Chain A
Amino acid sequence: MSAVALRRPSSLPKPIEWIRTNLFSSATNTLLTLLALYLLWKFLPPFVNWAFIDAIWQAPNSKACREAGNGACWAFIAEKHRFILFGTYPFEDHWRPGVSILLFLSLYAISSMRRFWTPWLALAWLVGLALIGILMWGGVFGLRYVENERWGGLVLTLILATFGIVFAFPLSILLALGRRSEMPVVRAACVVYIELIRGVPLISLLFMASVMMPLFLPSGVTVDKLLRAQVALILFAAAYLAEVVRGGLQAIPRGQYEAAEAMGLSFAKRTALVILPQALKISIPPLVNTFIGLFKDTSLVVIIGLFDLLLALKTALNEPAWTGIGVEAYLFASLVYFVFCYAMSQYSQRLERDLVRGPAARALKDT
């Protein structure tokens, strides 16, 4: 094979060539580029001024903030950060949810590194989640018991989202397999479950979990509000994820199933060793899409009075000392959500690059 690389000859230096081909290649493109530049010039400098240059970083209340200048009042966040992070958790025990957040972040971090992908990782998660439970609840090892009515803020959001994904994902795989089962009863049950849950808004599920479920339980038996909301989130996410997984399963060629069968692998082994690794790999983009959706959907628990990140912010805003800081508060909340969701998206893109090797993907298409 000859190694002569054919490149389009060009007399212009690279950056200029790039600008020409990408920004000014036609009259319409030129017009759009100019329009975009105009809008940037019009809105970006004032925003930077407001958000950074003129911003007030320290003030005792919103009045002082507004008097000090026209910039954003980040003093609100600085003043209320503990409430935003930890909600109404007892103040002197804030280190406990603090450590829990760090534990969550470490679990996310080690899970994103391929060299930690061993059976030990599952154990790390088990231990990590158990530790978080002990830290948050207390009642053992000399930790004061804190009922989960008082949990709140970012840590609650992370709990809802993480436990939501950890439990909904395996459940969704079972549902997807069940929906493709040859056993009519199993298949029907899965179809009914998926269609029923998907056809109902999450808000109504949460309402049902918080208002209706206690009515059906025998008196004296109570399941706490957080657990009920968590279960509702898991059931909801699982129905959506199941359809994503089913899509992946359907994309696997029949020959793969047959080859695995012909080897004498049992159903469980065929599924775990041959089918799922391929099906989940091609489902990564829609899976992560649903994970991101679930992460943001946790904010809906405010309607049943759980103190997640968003409700903590809102409550802080309702204090007379901090009225009128809404824009800053919601910008901050958006930023927090964005950081987590963007991290997930980046992680999924890296995972795809790592896993879907060119030749492997091609072979999948060929067979």
Chain B
Amino acid sequence: MTDASRPAPQDTMIDILGVNKWFGDFHALKNVSLSVAKGEKIVVCGPSGSGKSTMIRLINRLERHESGRIMVDGIEVADDVKAIEAIRREVGMVFQNFNLFPHLTVLENLMLAPVWVRKTPKKEAEETARQLLARVRIPEQADKYPGQLSGGQQQRVAIARALAMRPKVMLFDEPTSALDPEMIKEVLDVMIELAEEGMTMVVVTHEMGFARTVADCIVFMDQGEIVETGAPKEFFAAPKTDRAKLFLSQILGH
């Protein structure tokens, strides 16, 4: 990464600098640096085990980095619990397996964090929740339990749940990998809309169509390193490294 490509500090939402992460003896992230500007959409791709998920899980401290520095919206991600909770309030996350709360209805899932973390009055939280469900096109499912919904619907609820906190950044950790093929589109459509509205997004995905449409920047990772970054056009047309060429030929080659 060149310094010229880095956004000016006041526009930076996420700044990852020289971060290392080990799982036991396994060096999962090697000296990773990445900057995300406000409103920027970044797609992270790479073979499995390359550290993509680990990297975005560092941003809201679901994993702990051993060295280097991570700043989110001007707050350092470190051991301070209050700081971590402050960061998590501003960073929404969508998981591969949805992770909706099965004992709560869809509406309650959406209201939980606003009511208990943001102290939003219940009535207001419910209104926002219903608006968000309409936005992800499932207003009629508000009173059902997650287990009664299809995978695609569950993932859209999960996106709405993250948005209910009015986050400044959204992290997506392989949001369509656990879905049946016919449900992928309904989730991607919601994500594309979100991107068009100017949300800052970091998305780990293998959906290259999505990457082409919305990404400002593609980050290609392999074996715990960021191997290549670039605009989607250049990345897909002329990858600079052999590893990226190999990866692209494997996922696009059929």
A257 to chain B, nearest CB (A): 9
- Asked if B99 contacts A258 (CB within 8 A), the reply is yes
Within 8 A of B (CB), among A259-312: 259-266, 269, 273-274, 277-278, 281
Q: How many residues of A contact B (CB 8 A)?
A: 28
- Asked if B102 contacts A367 (CB within 8 A), the reply is yes
Q: Which residue of A lies closest to B85 (CB)?
A: A264
- Asked if A262 contacts B62 (CB within 8 A), the reply is yes
Query: Per-position contact with A for B52-65: 1 when CB-CB < 8 Å, else 0?
Result: 00000000111000
Task: Return chain A residues, CB-CB under 8 Å to B113.
Answer: 263-265
- Asked if A259 contacts B116 (CB within 8 A), the reply is no
Task: Return chain B residues, CB-CB under 8 Å to A263.
Answer: 88, 112-113, 117, 161-162, 165
- Asked if A273 contacts B99 (CB within 8 A), the reply is no
A253 to chain B, nearest CB (A): 8
CA distance A132 to B129 in the complex (A): 46
CA distance A264 to B102 in the complex (A): 19
- Asked if B102 contacts A360 (CB within 8 A), the reply is yes
Task: Return chain A residues, CB-CB under 8 Å to B165.
Answer: 263-264
Q: How many residues of B contact A (CB 8 A)?
A: 29
Q: Which residue of B lies closest to A362 (CB)?
A: B147
- Among A253, A256, A269, A358, the residue within 8 A (CB) of B116 is A269
- Among A259, A266, A277, A363, the residue within 8 A (CB) of B95 is A259
Task: Return chain A residues, CB-CB under 8 Å to B98.
Answer: 367
A360-B145 contact, Cβ under 8 Å, with A256-B99, A259-B101, A367-B102: yes
B214 at the interface (CB under 8 A from A): no
Q: Which residue of A lies closest to B151 (CB)?
A: A366
B125 at the interface (CB under 8 A from A): no
- Asked if A363 contacts B102 (CB within 8 A), the reply is yes
B148 at the interface (CB under 8 A from A): yes
CA distance A259 to B98 in the complex (A): 9
Q: Which residues of B contact A (CB under 8 A)?
A: 60-62, 85-86, 88-89, 91-93, 95, 97-103, 112-113, 116-117, 145-148, 161-162, 165
- Asked if B62 contacts A261 (CB within 8 A), the reply is yes
Q: Report, nearest first, the 4 A-B pairs whose CB atoms are least far apart.
A: A363-B147, A359-B147, A264-B88, A259-B99
- Asked if A258 contacts B88 (CB within 8 A), the reply is no
Task: Return chain B residues, CB-CB under 8 Å to A278.
Answer: 101-103
Known: A359-B145, A361-B102, A367-B100. 11 other contacts (CB 8 A): A253-B99, A258-B95, A262-B60, A263-B117, A264-B165, A269-B116, A359-B147, A360-B145, A363-B102, A366-B97, A367-B97
Provide a sorted-by-A list of 23 A–B residue pairs whose CB atoms are within 8 angstroms.
A255-B95, A258-B99, A259-B93, A259-B95, A259-B99, A260-B101, A261-B61, A261-B62, A262-B60, A262-B91, A262-B92, A262-B93, A262-B162, A263-B112, A264-B86, A265-B117, A278-B102, A278-B103, A357-B147, A359-B146, A359-B147, A360-B103, A363-B102
Q: Which residue of A lies closest to B92 (CB)?
A: A262
A331 to chain B, nearest CB (A): 43
Q: Which residue of B lies closest to A269 (CB)?
A: B116
Q: Which residue of B lies closest to A272 (CB)?
A: B116
B96 to chain A, nearest CB (A): 9
Task: Return chain A residues, CB-CB under 8 Å to B89.
Answer: 264
CA distance A266 to B95 in the complex (A): 19
- Among A269, A277, A357, the residue within 8 A (CB) of B145 is A357
- Quick one: which of B95, B97, B162 has the most chain A CB within 10 A? B97
CA distance A262 to B60 in the complex (A): 7
CA distance A239 to B237 in the complex (A): 64
A364 at the interface (CB under 8 A from B): yes
